[in-house]
Structure 1
Amino acid sequence: MSDLGSPGATAAKTALRDQLVTNRNRRPLLELGEFARAIADHLLTRPEVRRAATVAAYVSIGTEPGTGALLDALLEAGKRVIVPVVLPDLDLDWAVYRGSTSLVPARMGLLEPAGPRLGVDAVAGADAVLVPGLAVAADGTRLGRGGGCYDRALARVPAGTFTCVLLFDDELLPGVPHEEHDRRVVAAATPSGVRVFG
């Protein structure tokens, strides 16, 4: 894969993103539901998630690994769950998730909580941070959709926090193109289980 900061990294990322999004769009809907439940089951048994008082997560859309069951299970377990609100500059503010009925349509086809905003630094107070992505490398380098939202958010998360990307099994790759601003995660949750890096 491309070297850190090399001129070809951006083009390589774009090509890989296109391939990964195409693969996701081909997944059967029934499979998406089964995979969402499996990912939720794996994460809910992780000690880092079980011990967490606050979990930062996200509301999945389209063919992303589904988070609906996971978010509701976290609430049922008594967790405080915060989810992102995308700001005009593509940074992430955060708000408390109070169930799917508390969500309203937002920009870019997203759903977000209707409640008060907590500020961009709220993610720093989460005990576990669950993020979307398109792929992850064996060293934890995450490939996102290209807006940089989650790289900025992950930069605010203290070292040692459980940061985990939710993916499908075939999105665990030996390497991904990366640039200097890209942030690593410590784990990936897939339908097969949770893999911890390093």
Structure 2
Amino acid sequence: MRRPTPAPQPSPDTAGAATKTQWREEILARRREVTAAVRDAETAALTTAVTALGRELGRGATVCAYVPVGGEPGGTAMLDALAASVGRVLLPVAREPGPLRWATYDGVDALVRAPFGLREPAPPFLPPESVAEATMLLVPALAVDRRGVRLGRGAGFYDRTLGLAAGARLVAVVRDDELVARLPEDAHDVRMHEALTPGGGLQVLGQE
């Protein structure tokens, strides 16, 4: 297993004093420096881990996931592995501010370009409440800390959505160095239950 690299330390020097904006800038800069070879290796490791997760959940489960874009870890191979294991994968549809809508993943070829630089399934779309059918959510994140505090991009789509997913396992998918000791937290932030990283696999959060 690949040894995780040291966690990012945004300015100022003490991470506890850094703002969410500073964390975002630092992590996005680090992601831009990741080589294609490292991305491919991380995608392969995450796909293997997701395959095991899908087998654990079993056929008939519903999993909410997402299409990684930009420097986000993972790729569409993760979605194919999930679909082969559980049968039903829902992807988010982001439009106007508010909870995310959802659509069924029917393969890479069925994805279309969408706002915010995303790739989504074509209509028909499902209402936000469809997230309540999920056993697990794989949630994109810039970072997550050991308590479960997640750092997103700041649009608030997931903060407005996760409250509808009562009872589901919330798994933040991040690179190894994006699982950190402590992040700034706001009152509306919904904590993750687990983190999934290429080198560390699935790790339970909230135990420190």
Same fold (TM over 0.5): yes
Unaligned runs of 5+ in 1: 1-8
Q: Tell me the residue number matched to 2:156.
A: 148
Q: Tell me the residue number matched to 1:130.
A: 138
Residue 93 (str. 1) matches residue 101 (str. 2): yes
Q: Tell me the residue number matched to 1:40.
A: 47
Q: Tell me the residue number matched to 1:183.
A: 190
Of 58, 62, 75, the residue aligned with 2:66 is 58
| Deviation by residue 1:95-147 (Cα, 9 ceiling, x = unmatched) | 00100111111111111101311101111110110010011111111011101
TM-score w.r.t. the length of structure 1 is 0.89
Shift of 1:73: 1.0
TM-score w.r.t. the length of structure 2 is 0.85
Shift of 1:90: 5.0
Unaligned runs of 5+ in 2: 1-15
1:48–1:162 CA contact under 8 A, matched in 2: no
Shift of 1:44: 2.2
Name the amino acid aligned to 1:156. L
SS of the equivalent of 1:195 reads: strand
Q: Within 2, Cα distance between the matches of 1:158 and 1:68?
A: 26
Corresponding residue pairs, total: 189
Residue 196 (str. 1) matches residue 199 (str. 2): no
Q: Within 2, Cα distance between the matches of 1:173 and 1:48?
A: 28
Runs of 4+ in structure 1 deviating by more than 2 angstroms, as ranges, are 46-52
Cα RMSD for the two superposed structures: 1.9
Of 97, 115, 124, the residue aligned with 1:116 is 124
Of 77, 80, 90, the residue aligned with 2:88 is 80
Q: Tell me the residue number matched to 1:158.
A: 166
